[in-house]
Amino acid sequence: MPKSVPVLTYFQFRGLGEPIRLLLEDLGLPYEDRRVDLFSDAWPALSPTLPFRQLPRLESDGLTLFQSHAILRHLARANGIAGDSEAERLRCDVGIEAARDVQQRLWDHFWSPGSDTAAAAEAFAAGQLAQELGKLGGWLGDAPYVGCERPLFADYFVLTVLDEAGAFFPAALERAPSLAAYRRRMHERPGIAAYIASGRQSASYGFDTIRGIRSPKQPA
């Protein structure tokens, strides 16, 4: 009996669902990308039915999974990209935690009053963000991927965070050359390149649900 197509339910922006989408796209796995408008009537109706009152949710082969990193690791185990050794798995865990530090600094900045000003953005890019990117880039070094030799599950989360940083602070990311090169390497993978080119990847990142979903300013 053929397997059913997995259904990924998340919001209309990238956010916590994007690493899962990137994994599925990179591996060429079919899935239904079901997007819920956070600001529509659909979300207040759906939320009380979810055990943690949050998304993403993955429905696959009779399983209903929640929590983004649990979903990512489940897909990794099912598709042979969870790491072949403890050393690879440890690098993945460390890489995810280090990238989460970068992401938290981004969220702290975007949720801070006045973060839209040019002065605040410049200070953040040259200060906290540069420090966090420098630490992650120093740890990654010349390794082609987070697990070293081939993409593993952690790479999709790390790429998501670097895309967030690069969208809003491109100069800061380019000043971390190992991370900038790594990001380009991931973008060049056929499945990810096709996903980006398809127009299906959201331009919104979903940082700030109070002032509105923030997207990077487009060049004039």
Q: What is the largest CA-CA distance in the chain?
A: 59
Structure tokens belonging to residue 111: 């949720």
How do residues 9-29 score in pLDDT, each as one tens digit? 999 999 999 999 999 999 999
User: Phi and psi for 98 in degrees, rounded to 5?
Assistant: -65, -40
The whole-number average pLDDT for the span 181-186 is: 98
Overall pTM > 0.85: yes
For residue 134, the model assigns a pLDDT of 97
Domains of the chain in sequence order: 86-189 (1.20.1050.10)
Q: Minimal CA–CA distance to 102: which of 166, 145, 146, 152? A: 166
